[in-house]
């Protein structure tokens, strides 16, 4: 009986490894997070829980979820919703596809020996493909998609045939209304600007310049900046 049980167990393990398996698990949950399985309902997410293909994960304010995907690491940051589109590991191949609905994620994609690795993070405007690197991807309906390679090289492409490689100090940013991303060194240009202002301006003008000079570049006037400044309003909601 013991020999029969052992044989059945070995056969099950061999079949499991050959067919591939889903191995997305939560390693830590900080704050509040929930998940939705296909055809199911939203439930609270905790550490050590498996996440099936097709599931949605959503985080609350000041909350995050750490995931392990076949030895790769991903942090779902606050106010973010993702979908696990695909998770497959066969021993020779590792393939993961994550959809970023909105918010931001950080990922570390490890090289696993001779295993062929494909790890994609997809937003409505572009897809990031990586191997053996660290990245941070963010997406919002207004700001579009941004990508930063903290280690290694990212390859980003969209359905319009545009492809970019991002590494080092370059920074990828693409909004849904634009066919091509912003120049990859725009972020460095902004960080290198020096605040200067002419002599003879009033105290009020100097104070305005000190506060808003980061928002004014060579192509804008102060009027353009003030037109886009946020303002605080009071809204009274009356429920029926």
Q: Long-range CB contacts (< 8 A, 24+ apart) of 150-153?
A: 150/106
- Whether 8 shows a pLDDT value over 90: the answer reads no
Question: pTM for this structure?
Answer: 0.65
| CATH number of the CATH domain containing 95 | 2.60.120.1440
Least confident interval from 40-44, 82-86, 236-240: 236-240
Same structural domain, 153 and 70: yes
Same structural domain, 97 and 204: no
Count the residues in the chain.
Answer: 240
Nearest CA to 54 out of 34, 84, 97 is that of 84
Range of the domain at 205: 193-227
Same structural domain, 201 and 142: no
Instruction: Specify the pLDDT at position 199.
Output: 65
3-state class (DSSP) for residue 213: helix
Mean residue pLDDT of the chain comes to 75
Q: Higher pLDDT residue, 16 or 224?
A: 224
Same structural domain, 70 and 98: yes
Considering the domain boundaries, does residue 2 fall inside one?
A: no
Same structural domain, 172 and 96: yes
What tens digit of pLDDT does each residue of 95-144 get? Answer: 899 999 999 999 998 877 777 888 899 998 888 887 668 888 888 887 78
Same structural domain, 149 and 220: no
Considering the domain boundaries, does residue 3 fall inside one?
A: no
Instruction: Specify the pLDDT at position 101.
Output: 92
Instruction: Specify the pLDDT at position 145.
Output: 87
Same structural domain, 164 and 78: yes
What tens digit of pLDDT does each residue of 215-235 get? Answer: 444 444 444 444 555 667 777
What tens digit of pLDDT does each residue of 133-183 get? Answer: 888 888 888 778 888 888 878 888 777 777 777 777 667 777 766 666 665
Same structural domain, 93 and 202: no
The beta strand positions in the chain, using DSSP E, are: 24-30, 33-36, 42-44, 56-59, 64-69, 72-76, 81-89, 93-109, 116-122, 127-130, 133-140, 144-151, 153-157, 163-167, 171-174
Same structural domain, 158 and 202: no
């Amino acid at each position: 009986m013991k020999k029969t049980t052992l044989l059945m167990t070995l056969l099950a393990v061999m079949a499991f490894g050959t067919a591939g398996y889903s191995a997305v698990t939560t390693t830590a949950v900080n704050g509040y997070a929930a998940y939705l399985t296909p055809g199911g309902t939203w439930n609270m997410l905790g550490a050590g829980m498996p996440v099936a293909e097709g599931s949605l994960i959503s985080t609350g304010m000041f909350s995050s979820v750490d995931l392990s995907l076949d030895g790769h690491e991903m942090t779902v940051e606050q106010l973010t919703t993702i979908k696990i589109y695909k998770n497959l590991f066969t021993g020779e191949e590792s393939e993961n596809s994550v959809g970023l609905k909105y918010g931001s994620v950080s990922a570390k994609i490890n090289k696993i020996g001779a295993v062929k690795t494909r790890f994609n993070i997809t937003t409505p405007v572009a897809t990031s493909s990586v191997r053996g690197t660290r990245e941070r991807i963010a997406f919002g309906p207004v700001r579009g998609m941004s990508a930063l390679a903290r280690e290694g090289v990212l390859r980003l492409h969209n359905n319009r045939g545009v492809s970019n490689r991002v590494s080092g100090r370059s920074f990828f940013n693409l909004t849904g209304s634009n066919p091509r991303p912003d120049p990859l060194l725009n972020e460095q240009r902004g960080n290198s600007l020096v605040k200067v202002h002419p002599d003879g301006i009033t105290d009020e003008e100097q104070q305005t310049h000190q506060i808003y000079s980061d928002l004014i570049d060579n192509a804008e006037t102060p009027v353009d900046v003030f037109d886009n400044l946020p303002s605080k309003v009071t809204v009274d909601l009356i429920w029926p």
